[in-house]
Amino acid sequence: MPLASTGFTLGDFKDFLKTVLATTAALCLSPTVSLAANGRLPGNISPLHYDLTVIPAIETSTFAGEVHIDIDVATATPTVVLNTESLTLDRVTIDGAPATGVTQDKDSQTATLTAASPLAPGHHTVDIAYRGVIEKTARGLFQLDYASGDAPAGAPGAGAATAHMLSTQFEAGDARRFLPCWDEPSAKATFSLSIMAPQGQMAVSNMPVKADEAMADGRHLVHFQQTPRMSSYLLFVGVGDLERATAKAGDVEIGAVVRRGSVDKARFALETAAAILARYNDYFGTPYPLPKLDFVAIPGAGGFGAMENWGAIMSFEKDMLLDPALATEAARQRVFQVVAHEMAHQWFGDLVTMAWWDDLWLNEGFASWMETKAMQALHPDWSPWLVAMPAMESAKRLDARASTHPVVQPINSVAEADEAFDDITYDKGQAVIRMVEATVGETVFRDGVRRYMKRNAYGNATTRDLWKAVEEAGGKDVLRIATDFITKPGIPLVSVSATCGASGPAPKAHPAHKGRKGAPEPAPAPSGGTTQVSLRQSRFATEPVTIPDQYHLSDRLWAIPVPLATVGDGAPAHTLLTALTGKAAVPGCGPLLANAGQTGYFRVAYTEPAFKALVDHVDRLAPIDQLGLMYDSAALGEAGQMAMSDSLALIRALPVNADPAVWQQAADYLRDVDDFYAGGSSTGGTGAGGISPAQAAFRAFARGVLAPALSAIGWDPQPGQGDKVGLERTALISALGSFDDPNTLTEARHRLASDGTDPTALPPAIRLAVITTVAQHADAATFDRLHALASSTTDPLARRQLYGALGAVRDPVLAQKVLDLSLTPEAGTTLAPQLILAVADANPDLAWRFITSHVDAVEASLDQMQRYEFFAGVARRSADPARIDELNAYAEAHVPVSGRQGIAKAVGAIAYRAKVARERLPQVDAWLATLPTTR
């Protein structure tokens, strides 16, 4: 039994630890253990309840634990097999009798406990005293160090003390680093947790505190109430010098738990959570079942933003706290998204959990979609579906690669589960949900979700369970549509052609708006008639895709809901394309728009005249359709199925008063094209500034397109502009800075005082864009001033901004300085990956050489979610084909075969960038040469 419940005192526990070596002789180690064929634990034993006490020793980076486990045995067995990793099992008893054998296997991360006599079916108990390691990166029980005084810990000349905080991170398979357990999603149990905390420090877990027991040495043992039945990866505990602010939402207490002195920065998150909870209670039809919901913000950063521990959501401070002096509008929206996403998990993931990691998308895809639904309800002025479009576009681009995978994919190991947290799982998942909801209607879909929740509460479910519930609620064709998009890899391409039998003359084509001084003249109204549409589907791929010969045609097709509309003729008409080809009739004779409203997960290919007609009427398209048309034409252009300049012509035709979100994404895409030039221009040689004449011509074009848009909104907020304009402003300043716009650079330098004064005087909306623009073009003196400013800044959020800006410097000599400091105490483990990735954006080859020369030091700064992806993430920024062989060599030496999905994606990305630069940019160069001279 644990310390908290048996009368076994702290002194007894210490005496016990002193005699460990005398008792471990009987505990042997074995290299093998019997597991299921797919690497999962045998299914003959289920945990019912864990009673756990943990005593951390931060000075030695270790902890001691004791756990009492109630189990149910389904079939007679002589052994108990459970998960352990980096734990030393010192004492094991089964039903009160010492285990006759304890074997641990590092490869399978399991322990096999042999009972004194075979266990009959029924209830049994297991007691284990053990020791573990406090990690330095975000896995298991880990330690965070931060400055507690007037200067940052580790900074040159810093006089501040270093404070420590403990936190846990268990997804996907790291609860086994904290306690011996059945560390699988379907092995749900209840937990009673107690943890020892230093004097004056707070401990927080999934449930409220039950009792707080003072120890003679000044520490206190904090006991928490028993949790509901839940998966092991959702258990959480944090300890530190913390404070807690609260708000009430009905009967639930919502808390913001932050390091002392930061509580005011959590107000927005706290208010957001309170507003969202009532809406989620209604939407899911099942009220949030715990008495409290804490948001725990921890310093630093990792390979993830937040974790949905039930009742104790943990996030890094950058994703939860807002400093009014520093926060941009993008940061505010990011906090909203994180809060809404993790709160959605309290139902989709925590209350109802996927049965196994291959259905991870049920957690992440649904939560990603739900965060946008919450934003639509509470901040419709943010244009939530426009905000979500870039993420779904990222998924579409990945899905066109040979290295893609189905949303539901086989997962056979923890390493494979860690790699499943990608854009396909999150953002293709949310795109498919959005498509299904748009097809069946909001009410039907919501009613299906409510059925799913009630039917599977406190249990586990599969993808089919969700779709079945939606169909039962009245969703026609749901299983057919959803199954195709969830189980088949890749993204469809719908090719459309149209003819119109008009009752009157067709509307005259509206000329593209070439001027940048105001809104265009209104286009003629549609004149009636009916457009006859021919549809054809195929798979859109940017690389050759091998489809096994035994696949039937139906295996290569999707059931695709296609919304069709003619410009100016009202709501779209929906048709379901299930065969290779299909036909539809659409009211009106204006230019045809397929995927109207962008609710479908597919690309659209138009005939050349049809695309030009849409460009001519771009000012009459909804903003979301302007974005969809830009994204599709860009992807098809890069793939050689359209002219790559078509998407640039579309951007050039945008009215200056287009939706801010459209301009934001247009600026980002122009930067993407610039990256293709940086990887290898179609025109040889380099000119002024180290770039080729072709890239210089492209940058002049980009400046000519974006500068009028920035001029129209100005550098400073104006009354009535709204929050979205702030995001547009930031994107335009950043893009124009990267395109060497002299006016932008002059203004940025002017606003960031050259004597290095505190830049918090800058308006938060443009602060980061201004600093990054200056740092990008910094000389040695400017770099030194910015470095001094970063190293003297105490606020962790400001430090991340300033050091991240340093990494944007283009000068390779200065960029090398950033790389060198990334592995020093000044940066620390949590900042190092950010600095390296920042350098890789402008100097990918330099960053690659650095990390491959310091593999061990870099890997020591990475958490479990980053471990197999980070090197691939640096490499994929290059367009040098030689990088492919180097990346594969790194993988052979350092990455297990089961963890190489990210490597394959990076290889594809490098090859793709090189191909676009080689084969597509010459057409862009030729098109640019036909345009009037731009500055």
Domains, the chain, with CATH or none: 3-134+170-240 (2.60.40.1730), 347-489 (1.10.390.10), 493-622 (2.60.40.1910)
**Averaged pLDDT, 87-113:** 95
**Region of poorest pLDDT, from 82-96, 866-880, 907-921:** 866-880
Q: How confident is the model at residue 149 (pLDDT cuts 50, 70, 90)?
A: low
364 is in an annotated binding site: yes
Q: What is the pLDDT of residues 559-618, one digit of tens each?
A: 999 999 999 877 788 899 999 999 999 988 889 999 999 999 999 999 999 999 999 999
pLDDT beyond 50 at 678 = yes
Check residue 153 and give its pLDDT: 40
**Region of poorest pLDDT, from 178-187, 728-737, 854-863:** 854-863
**Averaged pLDDT, 731-751:** 94
Would you say 490 and 404 are in contact if contact means Cβ atoms under 8 Å apart? Answer: yes
DSSP H helices, 400-477, are 414-419, 423, 429-440, 442-456, 463-472
Q: What is the pLDDT of residues 820-862, one digit of tens each?
A: 988 888 887 678 888 898 999 889 999 999 989 988 888 887 7
Name the more confident of 771 and 755: 771
Name the more confident of 36 and 372: 372
Q: What is the pLDDT of residues 320-357, one digit of tens each?
A: 998 877 777 888 899 999 999 999 999 999 999 999 98
Tally Cβ neighbours within 10 Å of residue 300: 22
Q: How confident is the model at residue 188 (pLDDT cuts 50, 70, 90)?
A: very high
Rounded to the nearest 10°, the torsion over CA 288, 291, 297, 303 is -50
Regarding beta strands 101-105 and 220-224, do their DSSP bridges make them parallel or antiparallel, or are they unpaired? unpaired
Check residue 230 and give its pLDDT: 97
Nearest CA-CA partner of 147 in 251, 259, 234, 297: 259
919 is in an annotated binding site: no
Residue appearing with tokens 């940048």: 516
Pairwise CA distance, residues 924 & 928, whole Å: 6
Check residue 583 and give its pLDDT: 94
171 is in an annotated binding site: yes
Would you say 848 and 876 are in contact if contact means Cβ atoms under 8 Å apart? Answer: no
**Averaged pLDDT, 725-750:** 93
**Averaged pLDDT, 453-481:** 94
**Region of poorest pLDDT, from 108-112, 525-529, 530-534, 853-857:** 525-529
**Averaged pLDDT, 37-64:** 90
Q: Which of 66, 135, 342, 638 is catalytic?
A: 342
**Region of poorest pLDDT, from 37-46, 219-228, 488-497:** 37-46
657 is in an annotated binding site: no
**Averaged pLDDT, 151-158:** 40
**Region of poorest pLDDT, from 9-18, 637-646, 782-791, 863-872:** 9-18
Check residue 39 and give its pLDDT: 64
Pairwise CA distance, residues 460 & 362, whole Å: 11
**Averaged pLDDT, 11-21:** 40
Check residue 159 and give its pLDDT: 46
Would you say 374 and 358 are in contact if contact means Cβ atoms under 8 Å apart? Answer: no
Check residue 186 and give its pLDDT: 94
Peptide bond into 172 cis (omega under 30): yes
308 is in an annotated binding site: yes
pLDDT beyond 60 at 879 = yes
243 is in an annotated binding site: no
Average pLDDT value over all residues in the chain: 86
Q: What are phi and psi of 179, to 5 degrees?
A: -155, 150
Q: What are phi and psi of 54, to 5 degrees?
A: -130, 135
CA atoms within 13 A on the CB side of 156: 6
267 is in an annotated binding site: no
Query: Catalytic site residue 859?
Result: no
Check residue 865 and give its pLDDT: 64
Distances (CA, A) of 841 to 39, 663, 847: 38, 22, 9
Environment class of 742 (CB within 10 Å of its CB; exposed 0-12, middle 13-18, buried 19+): exposed
556 is in an annotated binding site: no
